[in-house]
Amino acid sequence: MGLPKFLNIFSLDFHERNHRLPLHSDGGNRETLVPENVNVPRNGIGRSFWSLLGLLTWKKNDGGSRTEEEEKVYSWLYALAQSNKDLVYEYVRSTERGLSFREAAQRLKDAGPNIPINFTFPKWWHLLWNSLFHPFNIILVVLSVMSYITSDEPNGSIMLVLVFISVSLRFYQEYSSSKAAMKLSEFVRCPIKVQRCAGRTVQTELVVQVDQCDVVPGDIIVFEPGDLFPGDVRLLTSKNLLVSQSSLTGEFGSTEKTADVREDASTPLLDLRNICFMGTSVVSGVGTGLVVSTGSKTYMSTIFSTTGKLQQPDDFERGIRHVSYVLIALILVVVTIIVLINYHASHDSSESIVFGISVASALTPQMLPLIINASLAKGALAMASKRCIVKSLSAIRDMGSMDIICIDKTGTLTKNTAIMIDYLDCWGTPKEKLLNYAFLHAYFKTQQKHPLDDAIMAYAYANNFRFQPSKWSKIDEIPFDFTRRRVSVILEPKILDISWNTYFRGRVLITKGALEEVVKLCSFVEDDDGTNLSTFTVQDNERILNISEKLSSNGLRLLGVAIKRLETVNIPGMVYDEQIESNMIFLGLLSFFDPPKDSAKQALWQLAERGVKAKVLAGDTLSLAISICKEVGIRTTHVATGPELEILDTGTFHETVKRATVLAKLTPTQKLRVVQSLQTEGNHIVGFLGDGVNDSLALDAANVGISVDSGASIAKDLADIILLEKDLNVLVAGVDQGRVTFGNTMKYIRISVLANLGSIISILIATIFFKYEPLTPKQLLVQNFLYNLGQTVIPWDKMEDSYVKTPQRWSLRGLAMFTLWNGPVCSLCDLTTLLFLWLYYKSNSSTSSHFFHSAWFIEGLLMQTLIIHLIRTEKIPFVEEVASWPVTLSTLVISSIGIAIPYTPLGNVMQLMPVPVSYFGFLVVLFLGYFTVGQLVKRAYLLVFKTWF
């Protein structure tokens, strides 16, 4: 058999140079870990700058095909699985004796330590810079510095405090989650028994213990129950070898492995019987194996190499950045115009610059970081009351946008318990004799107790069967192993019961295990009335097969039961004799069920009502997954399995993932590809609920990673949200809270854009029209401070039910259209005030500037304060919908303060004066007109765009 060219290159990499597979970033979901072998700038400035530029071209892996690194690993392992042992030795340049100590040391130097994923932590100042490098923070810092330069210390201090709060919260979140992927290092902290050869003249084979990180390709390892495989291993010898692959598959069953087989290319990778993978463990049996891959070249390293990568901003973050860029440009233009106009009128450059800074500060949504974090923190507290711990605050917002939730089956849809359903003979009839022997088997079995044994005894007790195990004594037990896939016990009655059939008297062997294995042992079967024995025929086998297929299609797990009378001389003590388990009598089969949770169906229905579709991503059989999904109301019209997905082309893969509601027998990589496909090709916001190491990839890649408190360490570290109870109802509450959080955040953004933009345009028009500032810098800053202070209660506002029932996404186009439609209403109100002051009060010169400033100050503050009630709902404010009491109280307090300031000593300091009562009559008419026009525009907007937010 020839060795492919790329395999030659692959094998040489281990020995000739320190070559590592490049770590790809597709599907990554963390910006807190830096891979050692990625060229990272030495400071956070360059990294942030280039990441900002990358926003325009970044595209996430769509999951439609395997990466180049995965293809290399797949091809390498398949080539080894299909080769004989002699050729495998040649591939990895080893011998039957193993490596010499000198050769092993050289390979360790060339290939590096056997560490699955080698990450280094970014320095704290990198994280701090990333937290600071946000456009709004930069704007506020620059404005604060300029305020100090122009001796405006109060405003500069306020802006610095806001920056400090925002940066501190983000830095804390990133630093807390920066060690997630390092949990994989747990797999390297164990000793490994390795066969090495020593001696200059005569080579002597020695078995020595080395740390897993010192294992190299070409080493021969010796393993026994409880050992972890230190790398990807091609088996050389094996005896009764049973391996747990739950770290990769999530399923708690064991997999049979054997060295005496050559696989073909049609076998799924994790089903290769002569290959064992790094991180999996030996359940039973012994053997030896040749290490063929270590470190970053192993299957585990390849599939988990995406964890902890630099996260690209989500739609919301990118949208905020785009808005900030627009505001920066607008600030520069407006401030430049205003400064030039004021300088031309007064020829005082310092005063013009101070006013320009004040305008820039007013145009900046200063409270945005605080509002966002306050909304998220409030949501986290609300979810904590539902026994849900939020690790990443931004995940709450993403839950509001989530429209697909991918969930596993066991423990999420089901109770993760075994319940016995029925006991049937080969004719499909319940037989008490069958249950009797199954009960005795479960009662006396002592080795490797299984939940199914408890289910059998619970069924007997619950149905008032009295099988009296005290009348029996245990003689021996033949434990489970992978070859037999069954357990046998030998019992003897203490008192002979004449009511039993003669062939059941005396010592009896009871065997229980996999149905197909038990059937192979049987030579006899009872007739339909259970009185006589007959030879086991092909017809009997077909009848049992039909019964089992029908039960399996309903999601039931099956066990077969058989018995045999034993003579005393046939008992060989504790040594297993194959002849004992032969020529047995088939009694029947037992069926078991993992029942669905009572709350699952209701929770899935509620999620569907909220526009969140559920997809089941399971690691076990398709028939079982379909059965459970039917029970909880998930449609199973379109289903698929991992092996089926593996052979699809990219386009068909995406279409299959889009349509399928149940996907079974998935590997960790396939779960990741499904999530990426839904995100990129389907443009969905995806949540993933998982609790195993095998779920880590999908948890990391999902927009919202959800795990449970009882899950694996790495799963909990990579998750954004941890459930203290694995209950889908918690997700329903999380979705609602996420949408309230998102909605209140969008309220502030839209209100700020409208109010600030409208006010600045009005100030620009007034400045041009009157040739002097409509507000002094101090008045403008106080007005802006009071307005922003009033908006801090927005996170405590409520959202309409119709809004919570729909997934919410950031839309830059939607924000732009919203501003274009509603912005002119604000400016119209300000211009009406301007004309009223000019025509009615003749306030059109610098001599009446104090009155004009006072009137404009009050109107502007009231406008910015009341606008929230018009914008926050698509209904008629104060009539059909009333804001929450914190928002209403804030409106009253801030409005009262704004009206009262001109009448107080503070008003004198600010150069404000009392306004006549007639002006307040005008304001009442003005705001009635404003709400009327605003409501008409709102109705027209709803007719065109169908939605308000």
- When pLDDT is averaged across residues 856-869 and rounded to a whole number, the result is 89
Q: Any idea what the Cα angle at residue 921 is, between residues 917 and 925, rounded to 5°?
A: 165
The pLDDT of residue 172 is 64
In sequence order, the 6+-apart residues with CB closer than 8 A to the CB of 600 are: 412, 413, 414, 632, 728
Q: CA-to-CA distance for 404 and 615, rounded, in angstroms?
A: 7
Q: CA-to-CA distance for 430 and 513, rounded, in angstroms?
A: 19
pLDDT digits (tens, 9 = 90+) for 148-193: 766 667 667 766 776 776 677 666 655 554 444 444 444 445 688 9
Catalytic residue among 152, 408, 594, 691: 408
Q: CA-to-CA distance for 310 and 34, rounded, in angstroms?
A: 8
**Hey, which bits of 643-699 come out as E strands?**
662-664, 686-689
Which residues, listed in sequence order, are joined to residue 423 by a DSSP beta bridge?
590
The pLDDT of residue 699 is 85
Residue 855: pLDDT above 60?
A: yes
Confidence of residue 573 (pLDDT cuts 50, 70, 90): very low
β-strands 220-223, 191-198 pairing:
antiparallel
Mean pLDDT across the chain, nearest whole number? 78
The pLDDT of residue 825 is 86
The pLDDT of residue 21 is 29
Confidence of residue 44 (pLDDT cuts 50, 70, 90): very low
The pLDDT of residue 65 is 65
Sign of CA pseudo-dihedral 791, 797, 800, 805: positive
- When pLDDT is averaged across residues 636-649 and rounded to a whole number, the result is 87
The pLDDT of residue 142 is 76
Q: With pLDDT > 70 as the criterion, what percentage of the chain qualifies?
A: 76
Give the range with max mean pLDDT: 165-174, 493-502, 727-736. Answer: 727-736
528 counts as catalytic:
no
Q: CA-to-CA distance for 860 and 731, rounded, in angstroms?
A: 42
The pLDDT of residue 85 is 86
State which H helix or E strand residue 401 sits in. Answer: helix 394-401
Q: CA-to-CA distance for 820 and 823, rounded, in angstroms?
A: 6
Q: With pLDDT > 90 as the criterion, what percentage of the chain qualifies?
A: 16
The pLDDT of residue 253 is 59
Residue 57: pLDDT above 60?
A: no
The pLDDT of residue 578 is 63
The pLDDT of residue 837 is 84
- For residue 404, CA distances in Å to 398, 407, 805 come to 11, 10, 14
β-strands 557-565, 508-513 pairing:
antiparallel
For residue 609, which phi and psi values (nearest 5 degrees)? -60, -25
Confidence of residue 3 (pLDDT cuts 50, 70, 90): very low
Residue 892: pLDDT above 70?
A: yes
Amino acid at 197: C
Which residues, listed in sequence order, are joined to residue 424 by a DSSP beta bridge?
430, 589
pLDDT digits (tens, 9 = 90+) for 323-345: 777 777 777 777 777 677 666 66
The pLDDT of residue 151 is 67
The pLDDT of residue 366 is 64
The pLDDT of residue 783 is 83
Q: CA-to-CA distance for 46 and 26, rounded, in angstroms?
A: 21
Confidence of residue 727 (pLDDT cuts 50, 70, 90): confident
Q: CA-to-CA distance for 180 and 560, rounded, in angstroms?
A: 44
**Hey, which bits of 479-626 come out as E strands?**
486-493, 508-513, 522-526, 533-535, 557-565, 584-593, 613-617
Residue 385: pLDDT above 60?
A: yes
pLDDT digits (tens, 9 = 90+) for 763-774: 777 777 766 677
Q: CA-to-CA distance for 919 and 859, rounded, in angstroms?
A: 10
In sequence order, the 6+-apart residues with CB closer than 8 A to the CB of 330 are: 363, 757
Residue 311: pLDDT above 70?
A: no
Q: Any idea what the Cα angle at residue 751 is, between residues 750 and 757, rounded to 5°?
A: 90
Per the model's pLDDT, the better-predicted residue between 25 and 528 turns out to be: 528
The pLDDT of residue 404 is 93
In sequence order, the 6+-apart residues with CB closer than 8 A to the CB of 461 are: none
The pLDDT of residue 181 is 40
The most distant pair of C-alpha atoms in the chain lies apart, rounded to whole Å, by 124
Helix-helix angle 668-680:650-659, to 10 degrees:
90
- For residue 722, CA distances in Å to 699, 716, 719, 726, 730 come to 11, 7, 7, 9, 10
Q: Round the CA-based radius of gyration of the chain to a whole number and report it.
A: 36
Confidence of residue 290 (pLDDT cuts 50, 70, 90): very high
Per the model's pLDDT, the better-predicted residue between 151 and 777 turns out to be: 777
Q: 511: helix, coil or strand?
A: strand
Per the model's pLDDT, the better-predicted residue between 666 and 717 turns out to be: 666
Residue 925: pLDDT above 90?
A: yes
148: how many CB neighbours lie within 10 A of its CB? 14
